[in-house]
Amino acid sequence: MPDINYEKYLIKEPIIQSQPALNVQNRTFPPLIYLSSAQIPEIKYNIEFGWVWGMPQPNPYLDERVGEYDEILLNIGGDCYNPEELGADIEYSLGDQILSISSTSAIFIPRGVRHGPLKYKEFRHPHVRISILLGTGERKYASAADQKPGTEADTNIDYEKYLVRKPAYEVIATTPVKNRQEPASMTLMNRNLVPECNIYVEGGWVWGMPDPNPHIFEHVHRDFEELVLHFGTDYEHPEELGGEIDFSLGGQSLKVDKTAMIFVPKGICHGPLIWKKYSAPHLEMAIVPGAGSLAEADPGGHQEKMQKEGY
């Protein structure tokens, strides 16, 4: 057994915030916190997760706000066979600009920039909203009225440059894998997509027992931490995964059988991932802060494996 009990880095029970005065219908509200310093004290990230399964009421339900840290917002359609279709038309304000969104997408929000409100124009099918706060394990915002002098957004900026409307497809396994998104998973954020954003975010759907199994082998990120999220498609029961995965971290087997976040410290070997059960589609997401390119992030260790094998 390893000297460290890596079970402490597996979060299967999210923090559910105390119910705010505002009651939002047709979405997971308040959102589920799957990573924070309250769960892992040394963490400098805060990740909220939730489904939208109808036209939210009230609409809009988020006020304009300002953050002291960079943030990434992910809007991911829930149809694993048509993953780029969001299932809604929404408007999101960033700075002084309204961004119209109707596809699976990601928004980079630099610290100090006003953002919100979020308004739904049309709803078609369920989708996921994920917020990744970078640099702090606690989630704190100021209202736009309380914004500090000197942090006001530059009105000359075209904030469209911070919106990734279409994923890139660059994380390719060394061998074809049946029953999961092929030929590559979706890269939702990296430095090529948004030059100011130095974080790698990618995810791919699994819609059956993967073959070969495992197809993600042992590997290590020597310079970067990694955050791995698995979530299912049952919006009425967002903690249900739809499978069971044996995830090896530091030589210790971790059982992932619910929607879960795994924190992988830099330099710690992880993998293989072995699917033990499958019952419903689910998405596997890798988040690598500080790694802005595929070569730096190498989610799944596929790039290193291809180099070793002479691909």
Mean pLDDT of the chain: 91
Q: What is the pLDDT of residues 195-216, one digit of tens each?
A: 999 999 999 999 999 999 999 9
DSSP three-state, residue 115 = strand
Q: What is the CATH code for 6-309?
A: 2.60.120.10
Q: How much is the pLDDT for 305?
A: 54
305 alpha carbon, distance to own chain's centre: 24
d(CA 141, CA 255) in angstroms, rounded, equals 35
pTM of the model: 0.93
The backbone torsions φ and ψ at residue 8, rounded to the nearest 5 degrees and listed phi first, read -65, -15
Domain chopping of the chain, boundaries: 6-309
Q: What is the pLDDT of residues 37-75, one digit of tens each?
A: 999 999 999 999 999 999 999 999 888 999 999 999 999
What would the DSSP string read from start to end of 33-90?
EEE-TTTSTT--EEEEEEEEEEEEESSS-B--EEESS-EEEEEEES-TTSTTEEEEEE
Alpha-carbon Rg for the chain in angstroms: 19
